[in-house]
Structures are given as C-alpha cells and as structure tokens.
Amino acid sequence: MTTENDGSTKKDEEEILLEETLFGDINGYRTRLYDFDKDPCLKVDAEILDNHVPQDNIEELGDDQLFFVDSGKQDVRERSESFSSHSSVIEERDHAWKPVWDDSDDDKLVVSLALNNRMRKLRKTEAEDKITGKEYSRRLRSQYERVYPVPEWATLKTKTTINDEEMSSEDNTLNLYAEPIKRLFRTSERYIKSGKSSMLPVGNLDITRMIDANKQAPSQAVVQTVSFHPYYPILMTGGFDRTLRLFHIDGKINPPATSIHLRKLPISHASFHPDGRRVFAGGRRKFLYSWDLESGLVNKIDRISGIEHLSNSMEHFRLSPCGKYIGISAKNGWVNILAAGTGQWVAGAKIEGAISEFVWCRDGSGLVISNTNGELWDWSIGERRFTFRWKDDGGVSTCKIALGGYGDRWCAIGSSCGIVNVYDRRSFSSEERNPKPLKTLEHLTTSINCLEFSPDGQILAMATRGKKDKLRMVHIPSCSVYKNWPAQTTPLGRVGCLEFSPHGEMITIGNEQGRVGLWKLQHYSA
C-alpha cells in the first residue's frame, strides 16, 4: 500500500490480487456480465437488469420500484433458444475434429498391391500396382466396412432416435448363448423386410458364399435334413448323430441357439411346423417326436389306431403347408394322413405299387404321389379321392418330386438314373395321361436325392449324393442350367440335403462331412 500527496492511500497490485482471491473479482464479474458477444446465455440476464434497474438516484426510489415479478414464460423460452444455439455451436466444433488415424506420414509410404495375393482384391484394375499409404488405408477401411458394416450404436443419432431405441431395447436385445430359444420368438426380427419380385435373369447366377451355418457347432455325422424357420432367421440341422441343432443365421458368426439330443432316433427328416412353434422329427422308427420350442417339451407320436400293420417306419413324413396334417408313407402303397395337433389318423390314400415319394400342394389341399414305376396320382384331401392320374414321360424308378411356382404350376420329377423332367401343369388336360415334359435335364448321372424349387418357382435345385460336388441350379421357365455356379472349386461335397429360405434369399446345403454350407442369392436380397 502506498501513500499519495493528499494523504490518501492507494492499493498496490499485490493487495488487489489478494482481495480478488479472498472476495472475488467484482470488476471482472461485472465486465463479463455485460459482455454479450462472448456468452449468449447471459444476454437475457443483462437485458433484464437494464430494463428494470434504473442507473441513477436508486436511493430515492420506493420499495415497489426496486423489485419486479418474473413470470418465467418468455424468459425461459428465450433462455432455451440461447442454450440450443450454444449447443449447436459445440456440435459443429465436435464434428470438425479429425479422425485419430490420420497420419501425415502415410503420404510418404508406397504400397504394392500386386506382390501379395491377399492385397490384389484391393485393386480397381488388373494393371494397378502401387498406391500411396493414405489410399491403401482408405481401401482397407472400405473393404472392412463392406464385410462388417458400421453398427447402429456407433452412428450419431438425434436425441429422439436414441430415446425411441432405448424404449424398445428390451425387446430387440438377444443373447443366444445365455437365453432360451423362446426369447428369440419375442423379437420382431425377420429374414428380410421386403424382397425383390422381378424376374430372375438367365445366364449367370449372382450368388455369394457365406460362413457355414453350423461352423460353431458342426455335426458329428452325415447331415440328413436342414430346415429354415418360417418367420425367424433360424436354421435347423439334423442327422444320424441323433441331435437337432438350431442356429441363429446372422451371416457373420451364425451362433448356435439351442439343441436337443433324441437318444433313440437317428434323424432322417425334421421340419418346422408352419406356425414356427414346433419341430417334428422322424427316422427309421415307428414313432415321431414333436418338440415344443417355447416350453421345451417333447411329445411322442407312436400309435396310429387301426392301421398299425401298415406303418413300419415314420422316416418319410411331410407336414402340410396349412399346418393341419402330417402325411406319412406306409407299406402297400398307403399314405396315412394324421392330424398335426393330436396325431390321430384322419384319412388315407392308396395307390398301385410301392410309394417312392409324395409332396403336398402349396395350399395343403392335396397330395401328388408317385410309385417306383413312374406313375403319379393327384389326391384331394377335401374330397378324399384321386382327381388325376398320369405317367412320367420315359420315367423309370422315380425317386423325387417337387412342386413350385404360383398355383403349383411347375412339377419336377427325378429318377434313379439322374434324369429330371420338368412339366408345366397348366398344359395338362383331364383326358391326357401321358403329358410331354417342358424340358428333360440330363446333367446328372446318378440317383436324384435332392429336388427343390425356390419359393417363387424361378430356380430349381437338383443334386445327387452318388458323386461329389454334383449339384445344378436351373432357371425356370427357360430350363437352362446356370454355368457359373457351382464352380469346380465350390466346396459342396456329397450333397445330402438342401433347402431355400422362406423368401429365397439364401440356400443351405448339407453334406456327408457334417458341414452345412450357406450361400446368399443377391437377386432376392433386400
């Protein structure tokens, strides 16, 4: 502290600093309070002070003039607007930040894409060789995001979007390893939201291989049957190891969802019920198993009253698309029809000779049954009688039948010599017993054991177990075989079973090595 000539004292800088430390910086506070440009949030408070507090003769004012009533309506709105504008400035500043992986030294680096086989897929042209380090980093990142897209939680969202997702997070969260299979049925997840309905092109098939469906839990024996769930992305596999395995098909890991071991049943065929809540499995035994997926209970269907002598095995059974019936092939040309709910016998259809195969119509109104001599019968379950009888052209030892297309327009018949005849059922007349096939396919030379139409009837898949890697995909209605797939390097093995997904965007193939391959048809993908 210093003394002036007039006897007054003046504070030095040290004393002023001590006062600001103990009592606060009053002058600095007043300066910042009226600094409108730096902090828009304080502008409202300053305006209120200027409008309601006089700057002179404050001591002469009355008490009612020194105070005012703050209703809060207009001021709060203006304050929220100022806060929102202030937060938008912060967001713009955050977006301006650069990624941490940017490195100026990348421009000095030169990478050759032609020296390493794994790096050749990053080239845009075959002649391209050397690129900069920054371009190499960008292409690696692009390749990675093509295989593993950015997850939803890593993307910037508005507050409203986050709140909506938090409200439904309990329904959409799924831990397949820890939760029972019934948890999956509570979600709204489906295969695809919408599929393409355009015509499939002829020539080359746009198909991509995915990770094997059962890679996380491979089968210990031959895979005899595969089945897609009618609504959810679940695939079921079964075989002679007597175990049904369910996998959640996500295209990346395909984790196992659950499994069940049927100790007394080597599984020949298993299928989801059309309602998606039950699984039926059968083998070379005189009984079927029904597995309730929600409760986990397993029921046994082992007696058919009155016709026990006709049923020596239930390995050849088919569920009707309507979900009401189960068709079972029996001895002496009989096909027994059981009620899917109770297992009771409903009706029976008998043909001449031994049954080789039968299939349901898409609407569940009837059956198409064939014998080993190449004769076929159309049977109506509503009328309980045969409506049409015809013979396969040149067919000897028929072993497989498939129906496809709208109204079951297409019919494919495979024989033990590898020949497949494709018929257009619209051209059939009620008096013609020997219709001519639309096309005779002679691409396979051993017995046909897999014959399947895609859900829209535009693809026919046919395969034989007699030789390795023998599968063909046929375009319908041109009946031309796709030559680009399967290729010589496609790992099919000896095909034991195959099936299209409900919307046709995937096809799965099981083989004798216990593997279940999975491929994606890009034409049907959303």
DSSP conformation letters of 436-490: PPSEEE-S--S-EEEEEE-TTSSEEEEEESSSTT-EEEEETTTTEEPSSSS-TT-
Count of alpha carbons within 13 angstroms of residue 496, beta-carbon side: 23
- pLDDT band, residue 3 (cuts 50/70/90): low
Total number of residues shown for the chain? 526
What is the rounded CA–CA span in Å between residue 63 and residue 456? 87
Q: Are residues 91 and 214 in the same domain?
A: no
pLDDT, tens only, 181-198: 666 666 655 554 444 557
Question: Could you list the residue range(s) of the whole structural domain that residue 286 is in?
Answer: 207-524
Q: How many domains would you assign to the chain? A: 2
Q: What share of the chain is helix, strand, coil (3-state, %, to 5)?
A: 20, 30, 45
pLDDT, tens only, 349-395: 999 999 999 999 999 999 999 999 999 999 999 999 999 999 999 87
Q: Which is more confidently placed, 31 or 165? A: 31
Tokens of 342: 């109770």
Last residue in a domain, options 60, 95, 130: 95
Q: What is the pLDDT of residue 134?
A: 83
Quick check: bond before 218 cis, omega within 30?
no
Is there a domain that residue 123 lies in?
no
N- to C-terminal Cα distance for the chain? Answer: 82
pLDDT, tens only, 39-75: 544 444 444 445 544 545 556 666 655 555 554 444 4
Tokens 């002829």, residue located: 202
Q: What is the pLDDT of residue 44?
A: 46
Least confident of 139-148, 326-335, 392-401, 422-431: 139-148
pTM as predicted: 0.65
When mean pLDDT is compared over 107-111, 178-182, 454-458, the highest value belongs to 454-458
pLDDT, tens only, 289-309: 999 998 889 999 887 766 766
The CATH number of residue 389's host domain is 2.130.10.10
When mean pLDDT is compared over 19-28, 202-211, 429-438, the highest value belongs to 202-211
Count of alpha carbons within 13 angstroms of residue 151, beta-carbon side: 2
- pLDDT band, residue 121 (cuts 50/70/90): confident
Percent of the chain predicted with pLDDT > 70: 73
Calculate mean pLDDT across residues 86-113: 62
Amino acid in the structure at residue 306:
G
Residue 38 has pLDDT above 60, yes or no: no
Amino acid in the structure at residue 289:
Y
Is there a domain that residue 188 lies in?
no
Strands (E), 177-218: 207-210
Calculate mean pLDDT across residues 194-217: 85
- pLDDT band, residue 22 (cuts 50/70/90): confident
Calculate mean pLDDT across residues 67-86: 48
DSSP conformation letters of 242-295: -EEEEEE--SS---EEEEEE-TT--EEEEEE-TTSSEEEEEESSS-EEEEETTT
Q: Which residues of 102-118 are buried (b: 16+ CB within 10 A; e: fewer)?
A: eeeebeeeebebeeeee
Q: Which is more confidently placed, 360 or 310? A: 360
Q: What is the pLDDT of residue 181?
A: 64
Ramachandran category for residue 524: left, alpha or beta (phi over 0 → left; psi -120 to 50 → alpha): alpha
pLDDT, tens only, 463-473: 999 999 999 99
Last residue in a domain, options 59, 74, 95: 95
Q: Are residues 233 and 382 in the same domain?
A: yes
What is the rounded CA–CA span in Å between residue 96 and residue 99? 10
Calculate mean pLDDT across residues 130-147: 82
Cα three-residue angle 318-323-327, rounded to 5 degrees: 30
Residues facing 347 on adjacent strands: 337
Residue 425 has pLDDT above 80, yes or no: yes
Strand order in the sheet with 355-360: 355-360, 366-371, 375-380, 385-391
Percent of the chain predicted with pLDDT > 90: 52
CA 385 to the chain's CA centroid: 41
What is the rounded CA–CA span in Å between residue 375 and residue 390? 6
Is there a domain that residue 176 lies in?
no
Last residue in a domain, options 95, 129, 164: 95
Q: What is the pLDDT of residue 430?
A: 78
Q: Mean pLDDT, the chain, as a whole number?
A: 80
Strand order in the sheet with 243-248: 223-228, 234-239, 243-248, 256-261
Backbone angles phi, psi at 522, to 5 degrees: -65, -25
Q: Are residues 70 and 216 in the same domain?
A: no
Quick check: bond before 321 cis, omega within 30?
no
Q: Which is more confidently placed, 342 or 153? A: 342
Residues facing 350 on adjacent strands: 334
Q: What is the pLDDT of residue 1?
A: 59
Three-class SS of residue 375? strand
Q: Are residues 278 and 412 in the same domain?
A: yes
Least confident of 54-63, 266-275, 446-455, 483-492: 54-63
What is the rounded CA–CA span in Å between residue 498 and residue 492? 11
What is each CA distance from 10 to 164, 314, 371, 428, 434, in whole angstroms?
A: 64, 110, 120, 117, 124
The answer to whether 358 touches 329, Cβ cutoff 8 Å, is yes
Is there a domain that residue 1 lies in?
no
Amino acid in the structure at residue 469:
D
Q: What is the pLDDT of residue 342?
A: 87
What is the rounded CA–CA span in Å between residue 51 and residue 45? 10
What is the rounded CA–CA span in Å between residue 310 and residue 294? 33
The answer to whether 188 touches 169, Cβ cutoff 8 Å, is no
Strand order in the sheet with 506-511: 207-210, 516-521, 506-511, 495-500
Q: Are residues 497 and 348 in the same domain?
A: yes
pLDDT, tens only, 475-514: 999 999 999 999 989 999 999 999 999 999 999 999 999 9
Q: What is the pLDDT of residue 108?
A: 77
Is there a domain that residue 161 lies in?
no
Residue 33 has pLDDT above 80, yes or no: no
Is there a domain that residue 319 lies in?
yes
Least confident of 13-17, 84-88, 278-282, 330-334: 84-88
Residues 6 or more apart in contact with residue 149 via CB below 8 angstroms: none
What is each CA distance from 148 to 145, 162, 325, 371, 385, in whole angstroms?
A: 5, 22, 43, 50, 55
Calculate mean pLDDT across residues 111-126: 79
Is there a domain that residue 105 lies in?
no
